[in-house]
């Protein structure tokens, strides 16, 4: 049984199906890269898995249990967390406070959950994402790339068993991108299931165990990275995209 399963997920907006009959499983210690042209449904799938949207049809299962109706905070405590394509930390809180929120409200941990401990531990987490020097600054001052790293730090702080990462490499320097990928690889080694929306094929080939390609809301290819990015259906989906 997969850790998390999407079964026949469909989501319509008005008359348009953003996602159509998508069935996928996520296994522990595995990085799945989700690719597809703009508008193919990647973020919608994340929203359905994290509970920000309800499906028009289909179900979400977590450790074998149906959770389709669970709200996001309940899924977060159960171990599902995500970053956003457009990072959404609390801009007036400090970086430490933002990460401490993740530590306090994520999956239950052994040890104290007191605010002061969380702020101390937040420093360590920020260090892992190259943000220690700005721990006491308000999130508002960060660059786009830093905001995305902060959001990843917040998501990691919730101790997810399934981490959904939406285009976090966008806006990162090559060094920061390497560090992020290194961090994802370490999380995988700890058993975390990761689903990564990523356009940089180079990065994807480095870390992904499996690639799932979406086009117009449907899965058009799935399997080993080298095979999927060369598959005729995927090439056609990308070439057929205006302006791609
Ligand atoms: P991707 O992340 O792959 O670029 P999205 O999941 O954001 O794609 O969008 C898939 C499709 O659903 C697009 O056609 C988009 O316009 C539409 N869509 C997404 N969210 C909404 C929404 N809240 N309301 C209406 N249409 C939406
Ligand atoms: Mg998106």
Instruction: List residues near ligand 1 (CB under 6 A).
Output: 13, 16, 18, 36, 38-44
Question: Highest mean pLDDT range out of 3-7, 172-176, 233-237?
Answer: 3-7
Statement: residue 242 has pLDDT above 80: no
Ligand found nearest the CA of 166: 2
pLDDT band, residue 203 (cuts 50/70/90): confident
Q: Residue 192: which of 81, 91, 90, 95 has the closest Cα?
A: 81
CA gap 30, 207 in Å, rounded:
9
- Give distance in angstroms: CA of 114 to centre of ligand 2: 35
pTM: 0.92
Distance (Å) from CA 198 to ligand 2 centroid: 10
Q: What residues does the ion ligand 2 have nearby, CB within 5 Å? A: 42-43, 85
Sorting pLDDT into bands at 50, 70 and 90, what band is 106?
confident
CA 226 to ligand 2 center in whole angstroms: 23
What would the mean pLDDT of 58-78 be, rounded to a whole number? 96
Q: What are the C-alpha distances in Å from 63 to residues 41, 86, 107, 189, 217?
A: 24, 29, 15, 20, 25
């Amino acid at each position: 049984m997969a850790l998390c399963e999407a079964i026949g997920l469909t989501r319509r907006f008005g008359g348009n199906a953003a996602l159509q009959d998508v069935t996928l499983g996520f296994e522990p210690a595995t990085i799945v890269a989700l690719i597809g042209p703009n508008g193919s449904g990647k973020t919608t799938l994340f929203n359905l898995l994290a509970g920000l949207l309800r499906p028009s049809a289909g179900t979400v299962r977590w450790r074998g249990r149906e959770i389709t109706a669970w709200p996001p905070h309940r899924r977060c405590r159960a171990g599902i967390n995500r970053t956003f394509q457009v990072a959404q930390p609390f801009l007036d809180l400090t970086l430490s406070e933002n990460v401490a929120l993740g530590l306090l409200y994520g999956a239950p941990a052994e040890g104290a959950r007191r605010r002061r401990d969380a702020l101390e531990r937040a420093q360590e987490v920020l260090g892992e994402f190259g943000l220690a020097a700005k721990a006491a600054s308000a999130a508002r001052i960060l660059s786009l790339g830093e905001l995305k790293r902060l959001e990843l730090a917040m998501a990691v702080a919730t101790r997810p068993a399934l981490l959904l990462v939406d285009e976090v490499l966008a806006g990162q320097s090559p060094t920061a991108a390497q560090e992020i990928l290194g961090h994802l690889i370490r999380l995988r080694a700890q058993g975390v299931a990761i689903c990564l929306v990523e356009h940089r094929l180079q990065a994807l080939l480095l870390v992904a165990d499996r690639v799932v390609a979406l086009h117009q809301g449907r899965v058009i290819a799935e399997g080993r990275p080298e095979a999927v990015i060369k598959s005729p259906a995927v090439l056609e989906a990308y070439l057929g995209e205006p302006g791609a």
